[in-house]
Amino acid sequence: MGDKKRILILTADAGFGHRSAANAIQAALEVKHAAECECLILNPLDDKRAPFFLRDSGADYDRLIRTAPQLYRLGYEASDNDIPTQIMESALTLGLYEIMQDMVKEHNPDAIVTTYPLYQAPLISYFKLNKYYVPLLTVVTDLVSVHRMWFASGIEQCLVPTSEVEALAIKYDLPHSRIHITGIPVSPDFKLKKRSKKEMRKELGWDPNLPTFLAVGSRRVDQLVEMLNVINHFGSKLQVVAVAGKDEELFGELNKVEWHIPAHVYDFVENMPELMMAADAIICKAGGLIVTESLACGLPILLIDVIPGQEEGNRDYVVEHDAGAMIDSPMQMLETLSHWVADGGKELRQVACNSRRVGKPNSAFEVANLAWRAALHGPVNKRGRSGLGLPGLMELLTRHNIPWSKEPAAPKETQNENK
């Protein structure tokens, strides 16, 4: 165990994508380097010392997306500028510095991979202040529309999904030599499993001979039931597989539907790659990971929901490559299905071919290979491990007249009184 290289994968639970990408990288490392590598996934925001507004970001994210999507867009676009990004990175450094410091000291990693952009600034600050540099690889988890916080100048490698994101990284001054187009990491199962769709359907208890539409919902997906109602009354011989994604309300609605076609309803599954490879098309939101997984197994994609800002690029990528369609209404769903299944499903097969052409089922292995090579190189120690703690960081900021505060601003009434 002591001779094994240790790789930390940092993630968060603001959506399924960041965690799923981390799981895929870990799985690929275990396939390729199980005997010589120890891989650990951590969510630093689980630490009780993390600022409350970061610890609760997952629940707040869900709530804001469903109730005020345009407000989310406004915040996303407003923060995607130079000065707001610098302010956010300073706040993140102060809020997460001690957590990152203790994490590096406790686990002594040979390399760190992050699938979430908020950890880069505090890690880079720790490395610079202590002159102890652990190779840091950032894995970007959206296909096109990417916030500039992903492209921190101090990272060793930036692993991007597409040439569009590569161009953004270069725009934000990352050297071309640090950028690698790998795709978003998806489960190694997409690359390793070779069974036919009919065989997989039979094992799953579905009708092996019926065209199968997989519908994936969650608390962030609206109008899934309305869209499935179109398929339920479409009139062709097919079956539906619906996954509620832990949304209890949606799960209840799906179970109340009077299905006229074979339907298989799940609350939550842990074998999503298997379900996707057994399906003929997918109905989902434009999340970076689920779109990438769908492309990896050549699924035509029916997008029914898009988070403003970050997911709009994913939608455009699918549509521009003719790998699916954006569906805004039940009538549009009906029209698209009619076109796809006409002439014996000729158009559906062409869309599947387009999807497969831009998919990257090998992505997790490419990321794992880069992480492994970074771990072989290992940390660079230029001073020793005594470390500069949070008090030292604050003293350094004060010495250079850099404003900081761990305390909330005084209420306006108090400020006025002080005047």
pLDDT digits (tens, 9 = 90+) for 44-61: 989 888 877 666 555 444
Per-residue pLDDT, averaged over 104-109, amounts to 95
DSSP 159: E
Whether residue 17 sits in one domain with residue 145: yes
Whether residue 26 sits in one domain with residue 175: yes
Whether residue 370 sits in one domain with residue 351: no
Whether residue 348 sits in one domain with residue 370: no
Checking if the pLDDT of 322 tops 90, the result is yes
Whether residue 367 sits in one domain with residue 354: no
Whether residue 337 sits in one domain with residue 243: yes
Whether residue 182 sits in one domain with residue 51: yes
| DSSP element (H, E) containing 63 | helix 57-67
**Which has the higher per-residue pLDDT, 351 or 67?**
351
Mark which of 334, 358, 382 sits at the end of a domain. Answer: 358
Mark which of 358, 374, 397 sits at the end of a domain. Answer: 358
Main-chain phi, psi angles of 304, to 5 degrees:
-120, 0
In CATH, what number is assigned to the domain containing residue 92? 3.40.50.2000
Domains in the chain, number: 2
Mode of pairing for the β-strands spanning 380-381 and 132-133: antiparallel
The per-residue pLDDT of the chain, averaged, comes to 85
pLDDT confidence of 154, banded at 50, 70, 90?
A: confident
pLDDT in tens, 296-321: 999 999 999 998 777 889 999 999 99
User: Residue 223 belongs to what domain range?
Assistant: 193-358
Per-residue pLDDT, averaged over 15-40, amounts to 92
Whether residue 333 sits in one domain with residue 245: yes
Mark which of 358, 384, 409 sits at the end of a domain. Answer: 358
Whether residue 128 sits in one domain with residue 31: yes
Using CA atoms, how far apart are residues 113 and 371, in angstroms rounded to an integer?
7
Whether residue 226 sits in one domain with residue 354: yes
Per-residue pLDDT, averaged over 100-109, amounts to 93
**207 CB neighbour count, 10 Å cutoff:** 16
Using CA atoms, how far apart are residues 56 and 70, in angstroms rounded to an integer?
20
Checking if the pLDDT of 238 tops 50, the result is yes
- Flag the least confident range among 197-201, 229-233, 257-261, 341-345: 341-345
Whether residue 169 sits in one domain with residue 102: yes
